[in-house]
Structure 1
Amino acid sequence: MKLVYAFDAYCGWSHGFSPTLREVVSRHPDLPVEMVSGGLFTGSRRVPIREFGYVQGANADIAELTGAEFGEGYERLIADGSFVMDSEAAARGVAALRQVAPDRAAELATALQDIFYVDGLSLSDSATYRKVAEDAGLDADAVVAAFESPQAQRAAEADFHRSVVLGVQGFPTLLAIDGEHVTPLAYGRATADEVDRQLTALSTR
């Protein structure tokens, strides 16, 4: 069995789920985790953040319900409403980090969300991935090169397709996959204890 976590790095609810994901991974170190980027802000939805009038209210709800932090850097970044969230660029970044350190994909993806939602660094900027890599003790040049490569673009597109094939309706979604069996464990928000209860039920079937 493995876990599949479908998320979008520009999704506030995914940011709110990060502590749960980190705790689940910590509790189950032998359980593989596949990180799948979603395409929340692509195509016609790749517009200035001011077009999404609900963002600030949604963030307040997320902070209240999950304890997620939305930092001053993030607030400054989006203050004038011109910032464009590009999920394709974010997915390329996730793919680059995953390529360089596949065993740390969950840790690095949640770090990526922190660097946007707390520090306010754009996930379209290669310098952001350099910082994430350096903070994690990775080869920063390799991560940046991977981010800028055609392979990252293909990996992002493959992630979007996989999310659709898995039937993901929104982000974040945590699934358990055992052979042909796909079991939803969490959607939107959940505690690590709630996920654990589901995993225990699966293991005793």
Structure 2
Amino acid sequence: MKVVYVFDAYCGWSHGFSGTLREVVARHPELPVEVVSGGLFTGSRRVPIREFGHVQGANAKIAELTGAEFGEAYERLIADGSFVMDSGAAARGVAALRQAAPDRAAELAAALQDAFYIDGHSLSAPAAYRTVAERAGLDADAVVAAFEAPEAQAAAEAGFHRAAELGVTGFPTLLAVVGGHATTLAHGHATADGIDRHLTDLRTP
């Protein structure tokens, strides 16, 4: 069995799920975790954040339900409404971080969301990946170089295809894959205890 985490780094609900993801990974070190970038803001959805009028209200609800933090630097970044969330760039960054530390992909995905939602870094900027890499004790120069390399774009697009193949249409989605068959463990908001119950059921003959 392995766990597949399909998220988008620019998805507030994925940010809210980060605490649950960290807890699940801590409780189940034996489970490999595949992290897939879903591609929420691509193509025609790559527009100034002001066009998504529900953002502030949604963030307040996410914070209330999950305890997730939305920092002052993030609030400043989006304050005038001109900031553009580009999931393609974020997926390139996820791929670069995953390349640097494949076994820490879930931890780094959550850290990348903190870089945006707490520290106010644009995930289109190399500085975001340098910050995450340095905090994680990784080679920051190598991570930034990987983010800017052509291979990162191919990895991002592969992730979008992978999410579609899995039938995921909303983020975050946590799946358990056993023998090629995927079962949904969580979609949107969930607790680690609830996910544990699903895992127990899957492991019970």
Q: For this structure pair, what is the TM-score category when the shorter chain's length is used for normalisation?
A: over 0.9
TM norm structure 2: 0.99
Which residue is equivalent to 2:136?
A: 136
Distance 1:105 1:42 in 2: 22
Q: Provide structure 1 residue ranges, at least 5 long, that are not aligned to the other structure.
A: none
- 2:157 aligned residue: 157
What corresponds to 2:43 in structure 1?
Answer: 43
Offset at 1:123? 0.4
Measure, in 2, the Cα distance between the counterparts of 1:185 and 1:140. 33
Structure 1 counterpart SS, 2:9: coil
Q: How many angstroms apart in 2 are the aligned matches of 1:134 and 1:158? A: 26
- Equivalents in 2 of 1:169, 1:48: separation in Å? 22
- For 1:1-205, what aligned pairs fall within 5 Å after superposition? 1-205=1-205
1:18-73 Cα offsets, whole Å, 9 max, x none, are: 00000000000010000000110000000000010011111111111111111101
1:181 Cα shift?
A: 1.5
Distance in 2 (alpha carbons) for counterparts of 1:56 and 1:194 = 28
TM-score, normalization: structure 1?
0.99
Aligned residues: 205
Q: Distance in 1 between matches of 2:46 and 2:180?
A: 34
Q: Which runs of 4+ in 1 moved over 4 A?
A: none
Sequence identity, in percent? 80
State the alpha-carbon separation in 1 of the partners of residues 68 and 192 from structure 2: 15
Identify unmatched segments of 5+ residues in structure 2: none
Mapped to 2, the partners of 1:66 and 1:174 lie a distance apart of 16
Counterpart of 2:200 in 1: which secondary structure? helix
SS of structure 2 residue aligned to 1:130: helix
Q: Which amino acid aligns with 1:81?
A: G
1:180 Cα offset (Å): 2.2
The root-mean-square deviation of aligned C-alpha atoms, in Å, is: 0.5
Amino acid in structure 1 at the alignment position of 2:28:
H
Q: Say which SS state the counterpart of residue 202 (structure 2) adopts.
A: helix
SS in 1 for 2:133: helix
CA deviation after TM superposition for structure 1 residue 17, in Å:
0.1
